[in-house]
């Protein structure tokens, strides 16, 4: 039973089929449509440019933006979750190292978006919401407030439709913090 769990839960069906010469599992190679082929091509080009720029010692806004774009493209062409998450984590790391707040906000936002809509990993989404909230509320970044509000609406959905504990989500507190920050921004405008 253990070996079956390792094969199927780890998505190693093709490897088991080849190594054990069973001839039972059909290949699960995915054929990409024209739009996804173009996205895959863009992803490969971005990764190549990133490797070249990093090898030359560059790590700034341009590389951070490219790493965010690579994560989005990998998500859109439905690459394996571990690959998509790795790209999101890299984008967040690049944004931190490049010390660029707008890129950090965008990198965390895109990762949270993936967790909610692609992976349906609500605990990870909540964790990323907290990360974004701490970045945005402390800085008052206007673009960040827009992103935070979008994720807040998803968080509110979790509290209403997915049966998540509203106290655990701290929905009332998060709503108040976001409202206060938006009100302060309106006074500053």
pLDDT of residue 64: 98
The model's pLDDT over 5-49, given as tens digits with 9 standing for 90+, comes to 465 556 666 777 677 766 654 555 678 899 999 999 999 999 999
Would you say the pTM of this structure is higher than 0.85?
no
Distance CA 129, CA 110 (A): 11
- Mean pLDDT (whole number) for 88-117: 97
Predicted local distance difference test score (pLDDT) of residue 5: 47
Bigger pLDDT: 182 or 87? 87
Percent of the chain surpassing pLDDT 70: 86
pLDDT of residue 107: 98
The greatest distance separating any two alpha carbons of the chain, rounded to the nearest whole angstrom, comes to: 70
Asked if 65 and 104 touch (Cβ cutoff 8 Å), the reply is: no
pLDDT, tens only, 39-97 = 999 999 999 999 999 999 999 999 999 999 999 999 999 999 999 999 999 999 999 99
How is residue 102 written in tokens? Answer: 């707008």
CA-to-CA distance for 184 and 189, rounded, in angstroms?
9
Return left, alpha or beta for 95; rule: phi > 0 is left, psi -120 to 50 is alpha, else beta: alpha
Say if residues 166 and 124 touch (Cβ distance below 8 Å).
Answer: no
C-alpha closest to that of 65 among 24, 105, 14: 105
């Amino acid at each position: 039973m253990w070996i079956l769990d390792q094969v199927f839960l780890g998505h190693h069906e093709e490897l088991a089929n080849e190594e054990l010469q069973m001839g039972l599992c059909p290949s699960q190679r995915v054929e990409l449509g024209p739009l996804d082929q173009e996205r895959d091509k863009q992803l490969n080009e971005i990764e190549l440019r990133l490797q070249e720029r990093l090898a030359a010692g560059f790590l700034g806004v341009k590389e951070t933006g490219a790493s965010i774009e690579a994560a989005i493209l990998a998500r859109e062409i439905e690459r394996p979750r571990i690959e998509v998450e790795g790209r999101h984590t890299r984008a967040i790391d690049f944004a931190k190292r490049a010390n660029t707040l707008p890129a950090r906000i965008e990198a965390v936002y895109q990762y949270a978006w993936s967790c909610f809509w692609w992976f349906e990993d609500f605990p990870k989404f909540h964790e990323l919401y907290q990360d974004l909230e701490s970045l945005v509320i402390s800085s008052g970044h206007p673009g960040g407030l827009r992103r935070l509000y979008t994720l807040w609406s998803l968080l509110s959905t979790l509290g209403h439709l997915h049966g998540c504990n509203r106290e655990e989500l701290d929905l009332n507190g998060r709503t108040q913090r976001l409202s206060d920050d938006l009100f302060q921004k309106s006074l500053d405008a």
